[in-house]
Amino acid sequence: MLMFDIPFGTTDWEGVERTEHAGETGKAYWRTRTFNNIRVRMVEYTPGYLADHWCQKGHVLLVLDGELHTELADGRTVVLTKGQSYQVADGDLAHRSKTEHGAKLFIVD
């Protein structure tokens, strides 16, 4: 991740447009800011959410609330709760998100 030409700024996430993204089950609601090649998101998963794809994109992800299950292509599942994070590089290990009770995340990719 190369960060460049991003002046200091703040974000009031409540003022950022919320977009809806259907999962295989459940929904994800994104609030997204883009700074050149960096995407910064506040994401909320509804209870019962399962991503509709395996992701190859790298992320730094922090769980703000709830519990997130991240399924990895090698068969493992990692469970993260409030205050825990993960990081993965582009193309390193396919992964997808699911949650039984819902989760709120902060993601940089």
- Domains of the chain: total: 1
> Can you give the pTM of this predicted structure?
0.93
Structure confidence by residue, pLDDT tens digits, 31-73:
999 999 999 999 999 999 999 999 999 999 999 999 999 999 9
Cβ atoms of residues 59 and 32 within 8 Å: no
Query: What letter does residue 46 receive in the DSSP assignment?
Result: P
Q: Which residues contact 10 (CB under 8 A, 6 or more apart)?
A: none
Quick check: is 106 in a domain? yes
Range of the domain at 102: 20-49+83-109
Quick check: is 12 in a domain? no
Q: What is the pLDDT of residue 3?
A: 85
Cα angle 43, 56, 78 (rounded to 5 degrees) comes to 65
Quick check: is 27 in a domain? yes
How many Å apart are CA 35 and CA 21, to the nearest integer? 21
Cβ atoms of residues 108 and 60 within 8 Å: yes
Q: What is the pLDDT of residue 101?
A: 98
Quick check: is 60 in a domain? no
